[in-house]
Amino acid sequence: MHSLPLADIQLTDTFWSRWQNLLLDVTLPTQFTQLVETGRLSNFEKAAAKAGEFEGLWFNDSDIYKFAEACAYALTIREAPKVRECLNTVIQKIQAAQEPDGYINTYFQLGHPDMKWRNLNMMHEMYCGGHLIEAGVAVFECLGDRRLLDVSIRFADHVASVFGPGKRLGYCGHEEIELALLELSRVTGNATYRDLARWMVESRGSRPSPYEAELLDPDACSLWPGTGSLLVRDGHYIGEYSQDHAPIRDHTQVVGHAVRAMYFYIAAAELADGTSDEALEAALVRCWDNLTQKRMYVTGGIGPSASNEGFTADYDLPNLSAYAETCASCGLVFWGRKMLELTGNSEYADIVERALYNGVLSGISLSGDHYFYANPLESRGTHKRTPWFFCACCPPNIARLIGSLDRYVASVSDDRFYIHIPTGFRCQTTIADSKAGIEVESDYPWSGKVIIRFKLDVPVRFKLFLRIPEWSENMEVDLPGADEPADYDNGYAVYDRTWAPSDVLKVDFGMNPVWVEANPKVRENLGRVALSNGPLIYTAEECDLGFAPQLFAANTDATITVGKTSGLPGLQTLTVEGFAEIEDDEEALYPSEGSIACREVSARFVPYYAWNNRGANSMQVWVRKA
Ligand SMILES: [Zn+2]
């Protein structure tokens, strides 16, 4: 299966349309201002002029590229002159900065021209170049503009002239170029890029690692003096930080830097797709299962630790100190889509949905111009989204994901049409060699009621694969002539029939608020519950409760009421019953047991993604169970 081209599908629901309009009107214009004001864009001007000092972090070029990619996607939603102008400016600056041999990285061009490709593990040259390629492919495919694609091809050819079989053994510490080379190969039809990507994926984890030589090179280490601290344990190189600990087929669990891991496995999944490489697919499934069954927050956040921006141990999921970088959840969504395409199993779509509606979306404010880097599941009032970061990987990453959301809701494959996420959309595509229009009308994620309309010129026989969400306990279907699916396949209800030109399928997934518990091995959450409704995880904020949610204990037997709040227009809230300690009367540090008074309270919960939009205040996802 494969996603539809972005030009062939439009999101029409009120939920995601709002985010996509915000992307065009607020998010991208304000990000462009940040790219200019922080010197990211002028680094390219300086590189073109071969004069001036590099400003910022050594991988800042990647923010420009991800921004360009996001603009390309966004302009398939609708025309926006301001965004088109920003994109055009960026493309021109990038073109001008590229060196004649195809190399482009403004940090090295301006400050270290003699040190190119010397510290692959930490200096992100191929990582930045990978984002250049992704942008080049996006601008070409979405807008028919090949200027950035040509820059990308020259860069990729330069990389291929230095690295590869019979040349230098080397691959980037921060994976990204592998998946980008696969995209470039798909678009250009040039197998060289695919072969290079495969070689990079399969070389990683071999011994001796090329990074071991870098650690012995004082000049290479001087580029990033902290290199050794993340790569060496007890005097030995270990490689986990960069997934360089073992060859891909021997991987059993996710380790190291979370974003690096996600990008690596995206490329590996793409390489496994369409082949019968069972060992590679098995390794990917092992790592995915380890991640989603033992190392993922209920919000789809991943990578609990700030110290390595990544993974620690199974079931180590602290709430208050959760790192759960926005980029890591974006990466989980990207990888989940590839695994879904590889296996056809709805479990991957379940995780994509969980991350999208929770851990990804919490990374951006409802106003579209403030961001979280870390996405904790508890706050004592010290967290606050900001307009930008010194290390600003997350804002353009979430922008490119929101711009390309349409890729995640549906797929097509020969005589099959898949609906993965039943959000409102309309599309024009070809199924079973016939043109077909399909429209989904829904109020997702606020309601599980969905209407699917078929717009066909003539009757067409094809299979509709409708994902049964993991949270759906009672799915009801109204389809004249066939109330039951023909079959169930990998978590999808399959309707195999000759569809009439104006058939209508009505579905009710039975969305109801429910409490969930964590596996007791997650010690942090013992005696605690989290509230969910359909794809959304809910959370309690002090501004709704009138007291810190840490004081609240939920009565999980009480009725849960669906409502709204004027502070968050358009959102559904859930009001639950419970108890709260009264803290005002108690002055002793250790009073005797039973002396702290409690009162019965109602508590309004809001969707997790929407927290922290009414000022900094205390928040808790996993509340105590009364
Ligand atoms: Zn990030």
How high is the pLDDT of residue 599? 96
Per cent of the chain over pLDDT 90 is 93
- The top-level CATH class assigned to 2-409 is mainly alpha
Report the alpha-carbon distance of residue 413 to residue 341 in Å, rounded.
10
Domain with CATH 1.50.10 in the chain: 2-409
Residue pLDDT, tens place only, 424-483: 999 999 999 999 999 999 999 999 999 999 999 999 999 999 999 999 988 999 988 776
Does 55 score more than 90 pLDDT?
A: yes
SS3 of 428-448: the string is EEEECCEEEEEEEEECCCCCC
Domain with CATH 2.60.420 in the chain: 414-508
> Residue 418 Cα, ligand 1 centroid: separation in angstroms?
30
Q: Under a CB-based contact definition with an 8 Å cutoff, are residues 148 and 132 in contact?
A: yes
How high is the pLDDT of residue 586? 66
> Residue 224 Cα, ligand 1 centroid: separation in angstroms?
19
Does 116 score more than 90 pLDDT?
A: yes
Give the list of residues 6+ apart from residue 232 with CB closer than 8 angstroms, or none: 215, 238
Q: Tokens 């991800």 map to which residue?
A: 66
> Residue 64 Cα, ligand 1 centroid: separation in angstroms?
14
Inter-CA distances, 418 with 76, 224, 462, Å? 22, 46, 11
Give the list of residues 6+ apart from residue 371 with CB closer than 8 angstroms, or none: 326, 363, 364, 365, 385, 386, 387, 388, 389, 394, 395, 398
> Residue 575 Cα, ligand 1 centroid: separation in angstroms?
33
Report the alpha-carbon distance of residue 472 to residue 149 in Å, rounded.
43
> Residue 259 Cα, ligand 1 centroid: separation in angstroms?
8
Does 228 score more than 80 pLDDT?
A: no
DSSP state of 250: G
Does 227 score more than 80 pLDDT?
A: no
- What average pLDDT is seen over the chain? 96
Identify the weakest region by mean pLDDT among 163-167, 203-207, 227-231, 292-296.
227-231
> Residue 329 Cα, ligand 1 centroid: separation in angstroms?
9
> Residue 361 Cα, ligand 1 centroid: separation in angstroms?
13
> Residue 578 Cα, ligand 1 centroid: separation in angstroms?
37
The SS3 of residue 146 is coil
Give mean pLDDT, residues 61-87: 98
Report the alpha-carbon distance of residue 540 to residue 554 in Å, rounded.
11
> Residue 323 Cα, ligand 1 centroid: separation in angstroms?
11
> Residue 277 Cα, ligand 1 centroid: separation in angstroms?
32
Does 566 score more than 80 pLDDT?
A: yes
The yes/no answer on whether domain 414-508 falls in CATH 1.10.530 is no
Report the alpha-carbon distance of residue 388 to residue 372 in Å, rounded.
9
Q: And the tokens for 374?
A: 């870390």
Report the alpha-carbon distance of residue 101 to residue 291 in Å, rounded.
41
pLDDT band (50, 70, 90) for residue 516:
very high
> Residue 396 Cα, ligand 1 centroid: separation in angstroms?
9
